[in-house]
Amino acid sequence: MNMKLIKILAYPSLVLAVIALTVGCRKSEDTQKANSPASSPPSQKQFVIGMSQCNLGEPWRVQMNADIAAAAAKHPELKVIFKDAQNDTLQQRAQVEEFAGSKVDLIIISPKEAQPLTEPVAEAMDAGIPVIVLDRRLLGGKYTCFIGANNEKIGKAAGEWIVKALGGKGNVVELMGLQTSTPGQDRHKGFLEGIAGSNIKVIFQADMQWLEPRARDEMESALARYDNINLVYAHNDDGAHGAYLAAKAAGRDKQMKFVGIDALPQEGIAYVKQGILDATFQYPTGGAEAIDTALKILHGQAVPKEIVLGTRLFDAQNVAQGGEDLK
């Protein structure tokens, strides 16, 4: 075996493999057929919807795609093509352009960033393709409809629930999501609005960056410093879970309540069912609403420029019934 030959082959092969791995994963177009092909009646017009998701690393986004797919399955005339931008803005730009080029009937996009994607979407609109924007906003107004939840509203709802649950006063530890991101800032702002005017005191605040291990570490610091904690408000369920584990290890989990946000079925809702969290607030994906709105657009009906989704509260009382809608 010629060592030199191996060396000559190995290095570029390795580099190619790395590139292939990353690029190949990008190019993986998950063509989920949202309808059962056998039963599509030929008389109805087929609509093709292109959906560009900024990444599928977050379970919440996996849920969003699942919601879209589930909603579209009920309408056999819809075919949804899913593309994953793997958190790469340039990739997402390319996907929007590809959809526009292949003249889909409608585009749904959950953008990574506002500024770089505003123009491609505008161009798609100019080409006559309606665009629905989910979750994160674009700049200006050149899109058909924006559907998103309002993190400030959710934060406020959480704050109000906390005021009620604690009877208007108590010591709260706030474990925040990445404060350089809008959701983190909004959930913090809304929370402060929700508790305004009450005797709720935020005694300890830390940025746990949405990560459970960090939330646990910060909670341990809070536990070390404060003997009297009534409630922990974490910006996501992972954080709340981490705080719970820290408190449990300290034997103090019964002394306090735990509140999170997101309410994914296998995380937040599960935690409420298991008694780990006292409440969680759904951060709706908007997937189902997107399909509803898409249908309206495709059938020529008018739709509002903006649809703000409400949240659902899941707590011990209502979790079995599937939570409670909050406007």
Partner 1 sequence: MKKNFTSPAGRAFLALVLVFIIGSIFNADGAFFKLGTHRDTLREMSVYGILACGMTMVIISGGIDLSVGSILALAAVCSAKMAIHWGYSGWLVLPACLIIGGLCGAVSGFLTARLQIQPFIATLAMMVLARGLSKYASGGMKVSTAIANPDGTYRYVNVPPFFQDIDHRILGGSFSVVTLIFIACVLLGWLLMSKHRVGRYLYAIGGNEESSRLSGVPVVGTKIFAYAMSGMFAAMAGICQAAQEQQGDPEAGVGYELIAIAMVVIGGTSLMGGRGGMGLTLLGVLTIGYLDKILSINAVPEAGRLVLTGIIIVIAVLTQRRRRT
Contact positions toward partner 1, by CB under 8 A? 6-7, 10-11, 14-15, 17-18, 21-22, 25, 56-57, 59, 62, 179, 204-207, 209, 212-213, 216-218, 220-221, 223-225, 241-242, 245, 249-250, 265-267, 270, 273-274
**Smallest gap, in angstroms, from Cβ of residue 277 to partner 1?**
13
**Smallest gap, in angstroms, from Cβ of residue 13 to partner 1?**
10
Backbone angles phi, psi at 16, to 5 degrees: -60, -40
**Smallest gap, in angstroms, from Cβ of residue 208 to partner 1?**
10
Cβ nearer to partner 1, comparing 62 with 114: 62
Cβ nearer to partner 1, comparing 83 with 156: 83
* The pair of three-digit structure tokens given for residue 269, joined into one six-digit string: 């809702």
Q: How far is CA 71 from CA 31, 79, 194, 225, 292, in A?
A: 16, 11, 33, 48, 8
Q: Give the separation between CA 79 and CA 100, rounded to whole angstroms.
A: 16
Cβ nearer to partner 1, comparing 168 with 213: 213
**Smallest gap, in angstroms, from Cβ of residue 243 to partner 1?**
12
Cβ nearer to partner 1, comparing 136 with 273: 273
**Smallest gap, in angstroms, from Cβ of residue 325 to partner 1?**
20
Cβ nearer to partner 1, comparing 72 with 245: 245
Helix (H) / strand (E) containing 133:
strand 131-134
Q: Give the separation between CA 49 and CA 125, rounded to whole angstroms.
A: 14
Contact of 312 with 282, CB cutoff 8 Å: yes
Nearest to 258 by CA among 165, 150, 154: 165
Cβ nearer to partner 1, comparing 57 with 168: 57
**Smallest gap, in angstroms, from Cβ of residue 10 to partner 1?**
5
Q: What is the dihedral of CA 135, 136, 141, 144, to 10 degrees?
A: -30
Give the distance, in angstroms, between the CA of residue 145 and the centroid of all CA atoms in the same chain.
Answer: 18
